[in-house]
C-alpha cells in the first residue's frame, strides 16, 4: 500500500507550485524609466486622439463639463437622481468587528472598514479634480463629508496618479489630521511626490509586492491585528504633467485581513490580469470596480472598462459582492451620467447574475457587508449539473431544464369550456356573479381574527405559522417575521373588473401585521404577487423589509419603491442581514419548482419561478409556492432537509389534464412532503380564490384520505383556518422523525 505524503512533503510541494505560479504572473514592464502596457490588448490614446475625442465626440452625459458651465447644472434633477447622504458618524466610528463595512464617498473614493482597520482608497474630497480649479473638472455631486468628519484612518491606498484619483489638497488635509500614524500605500514611482506633501510613511510597491500593517487591538493581552496590502495589476496609464508620462506605475489593491478580503480595482481597461488576481487571492468578500467613463468606446476602451467588462472583472476576481464606482461625480466620460448603473443592470441580466451581487450606492451611503449582503457563490461542481440544475434562459425566456411547458391559452380555454365545474361555491352563478353565500362559507371556512398577542410575541425558541389565505403565510422563526406571496387585496388580477374576487375575507390588514423582516415571492402570477399589497407593505415597513424574489423581478419591485430587493437564480443563497453573528444567521435559498410566469401579453416566462428554503440556526422552513410535481423536490430535501415546517399547495388542481403540469393535487402534495422531508406541512393554495374546477372543500378531504392510505399521521400534514396561528412543537418533529426512521429501518431489512 502506498504511503501518503507527510505534512512536510506537502508543504514543499505547495511551495513549489506557488513558485511556479509566481513565475507566470505578469510583471510591470519599464523601459527607459517609463512603464509600458504589458498586455497588448489595446493602446493608450495619443494626443491626436485626445483632441479628436474632445472636439468631435457627442456629449451624451447630461451634465455640464467645464467650469464655465458650472452654474447651468440642473441641481434639482441631480439631487433627485443622485442624492448625497450625510455620513452616519455613529456607524462609521463603531463598525462591527466581525464584518466588512463599505462607504462610497463619490467617484473612486471608498472607505473600507474591515478586521479592525479603516482604509481609504483614492480619496478625493475636493470640489474639483485637476492641477488648478481653472483647469479642472468640477464635481457635479458634492462630497458627502470633509476630512475632519471621517473616522480614524489607518491606511490610504492610491491606484495611480491621475487627478481624479490623487488630489493634493485631500492628501495634505489627511496628513494634517492624522500625521505620521497614517500609512500610505502607493505605486512605484510615487513616493517622492508623497514626501513633497509631507507624507513620510509611504510604502511604494511594484505589481504583486506585499506589505503588512499591524496594530494593537487589546493592550492588556498585547493582541495585534494585521492586514496585508498587495499591489496588483491593471491596464491603465499615468500622467500629471507634460513630461512625466508613465513614470509612475498604476494598479489595483488586494487587501487581505484576518477574516475578510477586499479588492479595489482603481481605474482600468479589461485585461487577463484579473483572472490571475482571482486565482491567487480570491474569492473576495467585497470589490470596488469602476463602471463609468467608458464612452466613446474607441477612445476609452484601453483605460476604462464599460459595465459589461466590469461584470467580467467581478467574475474573474471571484467577488461575492461588488460596488460600482468611478461614476456619478466628475464628468469624465461622454455617456449619460445615469447610464453606468443602467448598463450594469443590463449586463447582469445578460449573464443571469443577481443584481444584489453587483450594485451601486448613493454618495455617502454605508453598506454593511454581512452574510446578509454576501451572495454566496456555489460550487459549480454541485450546482448547475443534472442533480442540482439551474433554470435555462434562452433569448430572455426561462425554460424548465427537465422539459415541459405551460399550457397555451387555447389549451386552457378548451379545458375550461369542456370540463365540468364542480367548485360548488354557494351562490357562484353567472346570474349572480361573485354573489357568494357568506352564511354557508362562514360555517365551512371560518375566518379568525389573528391573535395579536401571539403574533407580537412569538415563542423565542419556537416556530409559529399563521395562514392569511391562499399562498400567504406568516412564519415566525429564529428571530425573523417572514411573509410568503402576500396578497392583502379583495381580488387578484390586473384590475378589479377582470380579476378573481376573494370568496373568504382577509383575517387582517397590512397595518395589523407585526414588523415584517422578509418577504418571499415565488413567482409573478397575480394570485401570488399583488401590486397594491407590495406598495402597502413598503409604505408601512419601508427599508426594514428585505424582498427575496426570483430572477427577472428586481425592476418590477424597484418600480414599486422597494429598496432591499434580493434577486436570485435557483440554488443561490443569501443571508438576511438582521443577524451578523454566524450562530444566529438565517439563510434564504431560492430553490426550483415546476411552474411558469406571466403578468401581461408579451412577458411569458421572462421572470423565473421557484420555491424557498429558509435555513435558520434552530429551524428550517420550506415554501413550495406554486408547482407541479417533479423530481426536484427530492434534491431540495437532500440539500436542505429535513424541514421543521413546509407550506405546500393542495388546491387548484382540476381539470387535471390542464393543471397537472403547473399545480399538484393533494396526492402529489404528500409526495412533496415526503421528498423534502418535512416534519409538519401546512396545506395552502386553496379556500380563498376560485381558480379551478374541484369542489372548494375537496383539497383538505383529499389530503386527509391520501395520508390515511399512506399510513402517515394526520398530525404531520393538515390545514388550518384563515387567520389561525399554529406553533410547531418539538413533539410533532420527533414523531415525524421517528416515523421516517422506522420506514427506513423496515425498507433496509
Under the banding of pLDDT at 50, 70 and 90, the label for residue 96 is: confident
Nearest-10 Cα torsion for 193, 152, 98, 567: -70
Q: Residue 3 contacts by C-beta under 8 Å, 6 or more apart in sequence?
A: none
| For residue 20, pLDDT beyond 90 | no
pLDDT of residue 70: 43
The residue-averaged pLDDT of 136-155 equals 94
Under the banding of pLDDT at 50, 70 and 90, the label for residue 38 is: confident
Cα distance between residue 168 and residue 535, in whole Å: 48
Contact, 715 vs 735, CB < 8 A? yes
Helices (H) and strands (E) in the chain, counts: 20, 37
| For residue 420, pLDDT beyond 70 | yes
pLDDT of residue 224: 61
| For residue 521, pLDDT beyond 80 | yes
Look over the chain and give the mean of its residue pLDDT values, rounded to a whole number: 87
Contact, 26 vs 271, CB < 8 A? no
The fraction of the chain above a pLDDT of 70, given in percent, is 86
pLDDT of residue 48: 63
Under the banding of pLDDT at 50, 70 and 90, the label for residue 217 is: low
The fraction of the chain above a pLDDT of 90, given in percent, is 62
Span of 160-169, 237-246, 427-436 with lowest mean pLDDT: 427-436
- Enumerate the β-bridge partners of residue 288: 264, 323
Cα distance between residue 422 and residue 412, in whole Å: 17
Span of 49-53, 242-246, 368-372 with lowest mean pLDDT: 368-372
| For residue 670, pLDDT beyond 90 | yes
pLDDT of residue 672: 98
The residue-averaged pLDDT of 44-63 equals 60
| For residue 67, pLDDT beyond 80 | no
Span of 126-130, 533-537, 583-587, 676-680 with lowest mean pLDDT: 583-587
| For residue 743, pLDDT beyond 70 | no
Give the best-scoring range by mean pLDDT among 114-118, 234-238, 287-291, 491-495: 287-291
pLDDT of residue 749: 47
The residue-averaged pLDDT of 441-465 equals 94
| For residue 734, pLDDT beyond 70 | yes
The DSSP annotation for 218-244 comes to: ETTTTEEEEEEEEEE--B----SSSS-
Under the banding of pLDDT at 50, 70 and 90, the label for residue 61 is: low
For the stretch 268-282, pLDDT in tens is 999 999 999 999 998
Distance of CA 608 to the CA centre of its chain: 15
pLDDT of residue 355: 81
| For residue 9, pLDDT beyond 90 | no
Q: Which residue has the higher pLDDT, 97 or 220?
A: 97
Give Rg (Cα) of the chain.
30
pLDDT of residue 737: 80
Under the banding of pLDDT at 50, 70 and 90, the label for residue 349 is: confident
In this structure, what C-alpha cell is assigned to residue 427?
351562490
| For residue 85, pLDDT beyond 90 | yes
Domains and CATH numbers, the chain: 70-367 (3.60.15.10), 409-747 (3.60.15.10)
In this structure, what C-alpha cell is assigned to residue 434?
361573485
For the stretch 386-396, pLDDT in tens is 788 888 888 88
The residue-averaged pLDDT of 108-128 equals 96
Give the best-scoring range by mean pLDDT among 102-106, 214-218, 333-337: 102-106
Amino acid at each position: 500500500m502506498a504511503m501518503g505524503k507527510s505534512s512536510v512533503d506537502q508543504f514543499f510541494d505547495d511551495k513549489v507550485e506557488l513558485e511556479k505560479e509566481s513565475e507566470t504572473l505578469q510583471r510591470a514592464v519599464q523601459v527607459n524609466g517609463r512603464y509600458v502596457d504589458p498586455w497588448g490588448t489595446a493602446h493608450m490614446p495619443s494626443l491626436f486622439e485626445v483632441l479628436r475625442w474632445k472636439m468631435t465626440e457627442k456629449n451624451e452625459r447630461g451634465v455640464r463639463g467645464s467650469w464655465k458651465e458650472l452654474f447651468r447644472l440642473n441641481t434639482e434633477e441631480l439631487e433627485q437622481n443622485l442624492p448625497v447622504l450625510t455620513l452616519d458618524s455613529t456607524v462609521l466610528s463603531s463598525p462591527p468587528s466581525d464584518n466588512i463595512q463599505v462607504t462610497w464617498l463619490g467617484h473612486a473614493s471608498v472607505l473600507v472598514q474591515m478586521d479592525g482597520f479603516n482604509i481609504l482608497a483614492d480619496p478625493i474630497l475636493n470640489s474639483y479634480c485637476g492641477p488648478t480649479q481653472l483647469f479642472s473638472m468640477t464635481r457635479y455631486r458634492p462630497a458627502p463629508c470633509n476630512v475632519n468628519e471621517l473616522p480614524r484612518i489607518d491606511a490610504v491606498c492610491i491606484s495611480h496618479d491621475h487627478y481624479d484619483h490623487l488630489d493634493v489638497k485631500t492628501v495634505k488635509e489627511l496628513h494634517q489630521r492624522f500625521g505620521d500614524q497614517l500609512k500610505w500605500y502607493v505605486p512605484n514611482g510615487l513616493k517622492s511626490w508623497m514626501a513633497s506633501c509631507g507624507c513620510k510613511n509611504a510604502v511604494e510597491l511594484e505589481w504583486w509586492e506585499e506589505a503588512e500593517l499591524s496594530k494593537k487591538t487589546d493592550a492588556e493581552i498585547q493582541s495585534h491585528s494585521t492586514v496585508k496590502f498587495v499591489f496588483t495589476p491593471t491596464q491603465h496609464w499615468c500622467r500629471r504633467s507634460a513630461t512625466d508620462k508613465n513614470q509612475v506605475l498604476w494598479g489595483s489593491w488586494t487587501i487581505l485581513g484576518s477574516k475578510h478580503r477586499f479588492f479595489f480595482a482603481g481605474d482600468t481597461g479589461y485585461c487577463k490580469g484579473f483572472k490571475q488576481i482571482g486565482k491567487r487571492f480570491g474569492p473576495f468578500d467585497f470589490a470596488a470596480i469602476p463602471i463609468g467613463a467608458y464612452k466613446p468606446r474607441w477612445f476609452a476602451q484601453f483605460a476604462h472598462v464599460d459595465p459589461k467588462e466590469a461584470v467580467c472583472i467581478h467574475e474573474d476576481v471571484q467577488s461575492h459582492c461588488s460596488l460600482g464606482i468611478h461614476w456619478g461625480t466628475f464628468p469624465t466620460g461622454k455617456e449619460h451620467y445615469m447610464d453606468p448603473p443602467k448598463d450594469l443592470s443590463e449586463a447582469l441580466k445578460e449573464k443571469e447574475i443577481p443584481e444584489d451581487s453587483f450594485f451601486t450606492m448613493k454618495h455617502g451611503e454605508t453598506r454593511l457587508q454581512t452574510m446578509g449582503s454576501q451572495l454566496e457563490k456555489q460550487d459549480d461542481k454541485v450546482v448547475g449539473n443534472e442533480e442540482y440544475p439551474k433554470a435555462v434562459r434562452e433569448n430572455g425566456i426561462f425554460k424548465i431544464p427537465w422539459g415541459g411547458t405551460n399550457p397555451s391559452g387555447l389549451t386552457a380555454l378548451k379545458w375550461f369550456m369542456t370540463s365540468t365545474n364542480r367548485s360548488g361555491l354557494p351562490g357562484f352563478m353567472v346570474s349572480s356573479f361573485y354573489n357568494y353565500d357568506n352564511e354557508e362559507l362562514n360555517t365551512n371556512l371560518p375566518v379568525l381574527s389573528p391573535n395579536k398577542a401571539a403574533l407580537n410575541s412569538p415563542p423565542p425558541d419556537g416556530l409559529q405559522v399563521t395562514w392569511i389565505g391562499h399562498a400567504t403565510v406568516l412564519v415566525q422563526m429564529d428571530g425573523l417575521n417572514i411573509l410568503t406571496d402576500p396578497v392583502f387585496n379583495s381580488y387578484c388580477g390586473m384590475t378589479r373588473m377582470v380579476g378573481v374576487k376573494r370568496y373568504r375575507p382577509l383575517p387582517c390588514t397590512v397595518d395589523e401585521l407585526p414588523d415584517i423582516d422578509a418577504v418571499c415571492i415565488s413567482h409573478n402570477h397575480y394570485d401570488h404577487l399583488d401590486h397594491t399589497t407590495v406598495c402597502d407593505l413598503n409604505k408601512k415597513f419601508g427599508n426594514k423589509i428585505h424582498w427575496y424574489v426570483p430572477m427577472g423581478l428586481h425592476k418590477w419591485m424597484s418600480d414599486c419603491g422597494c429598496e432591499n430587493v434580493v434577486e436570485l437564480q435557483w440554488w443561490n443563497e443569501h443571508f438576511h442581514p438582521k443577524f451578523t453573528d454566524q450562530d444566529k444567521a438565517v439563510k434564504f435559498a431560492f430553490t426550483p419548482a415546476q411552474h411558469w410566469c406571466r403578468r401581461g401579453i408579451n412577458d411569458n416566462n421572462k421572470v423565473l419561478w421557484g420555491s424557498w428554503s429558509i435555513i435558520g440556526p434552530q429551524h428550517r422552513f420550506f415554501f413550495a409556492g406554486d408547482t407541479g410535481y417533479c423530481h426536484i423536490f427530492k434534491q431540495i430535501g437532500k440539500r436542505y432537509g429535513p424541514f421543521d415546517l413546509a407550506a405546500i399547495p393542495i388546491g387548484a388542481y382540476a381539470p387535471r389534464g390542464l393543471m397537472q403540469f403547473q399545480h399538484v393535487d393533494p396526492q402529489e402534495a404528500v409526495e412533496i412532503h415526503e421528498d423534502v422531508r418535512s416534519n409538519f406541512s401546512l396545506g395552502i393554495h386553496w379556500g380563498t380564490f376560485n381558480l379551478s374546477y374541484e369542489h372548494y372543500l375537496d383539497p383538505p378531504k383529499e389530503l386527509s384520505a391520501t395520508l390515511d392510505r399512506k399510513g402517515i399521521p394526520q398530525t404531520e400534514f393538515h390545514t388550518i383556518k384563515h387567520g389561525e396561528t399554529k406553533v410547531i412543537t418539538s413533539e410533532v418533529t420527533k414523531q415525524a422523525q421517528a416515523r421516517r426512521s422506522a420506514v427506513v429501518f423496515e425498507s433496509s431489512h
